Every structure is written in C-alpha cells, then in structure tokens.
Structure 1
C-alpha cells in the first residue's frame, strides 16, 4: 500500500509541477523577476548560460530540501522531491534540449506532438516584451497548436 501511495504522490507532484511551471512563467518570470528571464527572450550576452537558468536553482533547492526531510523521517519527502526532480529533468529535455537546441539533439523530430510544442513555444517567443505572449506549460500545450 505504501508503494502505491508513493507512486501516486510522485505522479501527482509531477502533474502539479506543470501548473507551477505555467504559474511561475506567467506571474514570476514575466512579472517581478523579468530581469532574470528577459535574456531568454532577447539574448543580450555571449555566454552559453542565461540569467534565466537561475530559476532551476530554486526548484532544485526545494527538491533537495524534501530529500533532506525524507532522510529525517518524513517519507513523503522522497516522492515529492523525486516528482519535482523528474519534472525538472523533463523540462530540461523538452525546453532546453528539444526546443532551444542548447545541445544539438532531437533536431529531426517530426511527430505531430513535437511540432505542436515547437510551434507553441515559437509563438510565445515572438514577443520580446514582459507582458506579451501567451504562457503555457511544457506538456499541456493548447490543442490549437497541433496541426497534422
């Protein structure tokens, strides 16, 4: 029974992180921390790293803190921490590697879902300003972007 609860907490955490990604992107990154996120929309430096990369540190600290609580008796910390970590890995693979090609992988993916995710992200990035552009999560992109 404990294993089933562990799996449900992990999957629930992973799913909630999609909402958190949308919320953080819309209200934090395009809000009061635009100064960290704007170089993701309009590169103003020669570095491979972006100021925007600082956002992953916040979620990494939350995940590591949950691992710490789990090691000290709060067993829910394991599935919560791993759910956040798994979402972060998925986000890195989809957003940074697949969409932005920070590593030259998955360049020829022509699946309808892959094309829809790229199309939606491109529409978001055509706006360079703080208040412009539709914000959405990584996995649950509006269906209007999926054309066969």
Structure 2
C-alpha cells in the first residue's frame, strides 16, 4: 500500500507541477521565475530556485507529521512529493539545464524528447505564449520525433 500511495502521489505531482508552472510561475510569481528564462550566467543560483520551498515544505511536513502521529498515508504522500522533488532535481536541473555535469551524454529517445520539449518551452522568454509546462509527460510529437531519429 505504501508503494502505491507514493507512486500515485509522484505522478499527481507532475500535474501539480504543470499547473503551478503554467499559472503561478508564468502568472503572478513571474518575477521569481523570470531569471530562469533569462538566466544570469554570473550566478549559480536563481530566484526561481525559491520554488523548491513550495514543494519541500509540504513534503517535509507530511513526512514529519505523518510519522509523529502515525498517520502513515500522510507520511507516504510526503515521500511521494519528495520522490518527485528528487526526479525534478535530476531531470530538470542536472539533465536538462546541466547545472551539474552528470548526465551529459544520454542518448535515450525519451530523455531527448524531454530535453526538446523543455527547449521549446524556453524559446519564449516572456511569460506569455508558453508551451510544454510539464517535466516528465511531454507532447507525443516530441517522442515521435526522437523515436524516428533513433531508428534512422
């Protein structure tokens, strides 16, 4: 049961992240997200990194309170949010933006599709006209393009 709750929470976070990215980051908190679209090469950190707390705090609270009060479902939800946060760090920060140089030579079609969709998202430097707000679920057209390349 624990694995199922963590798994469902992880994938629910993809939709929560999409919604937050589209309507909060590209909405009323654009001033925090702006430097992610127009990065400052002189700094490793961005104001955009503050969004980490938006997800880290609820995860921590769910894990802490769930374990303190033995409400394990709440604790497992916290672990699902944490798992998504780890995936976000590895996929978005490390793989896509290369903030750490760990996964530079990946040639997997799905990972290339993720990178392509994110590149399309960043072609718009303003908060309007954005597309591809998700991280792990990408439009099928990008997966098809990368599958074609892999077969060629």
TM-score by length of 1: 0.93
**CA–CA separation in structure 1 for the residues paired with 2:89 and 2:129:** 23
Pairs aligned (count): 144
1:69: Cα distance to partner?
Answer: 1.6
Unpaired segments of 5 or more residues in structure 2? none
**Is the 8 Å Cα contact of residues 120 and 132 (structure 2) preserved in structure 1?**
no
**Is the 8 Å Cα contact of residues 67 and 81 (structure 1) preserved in structure 2?**
yes
Alignment partner of 1:89 is 2:64: no
Matches for 1:15-94 after TM superposition, within 5 Å: 15-44=11-40, 46-70=42-66, 71-94=68-91
Name 1:114's counterpart in structure 2.
111
**CA–CA separation in structure 2 for the residues paired with 1:112 and 1:11:** 23
Unpaired segments of 5 or more residues in structure 1? none
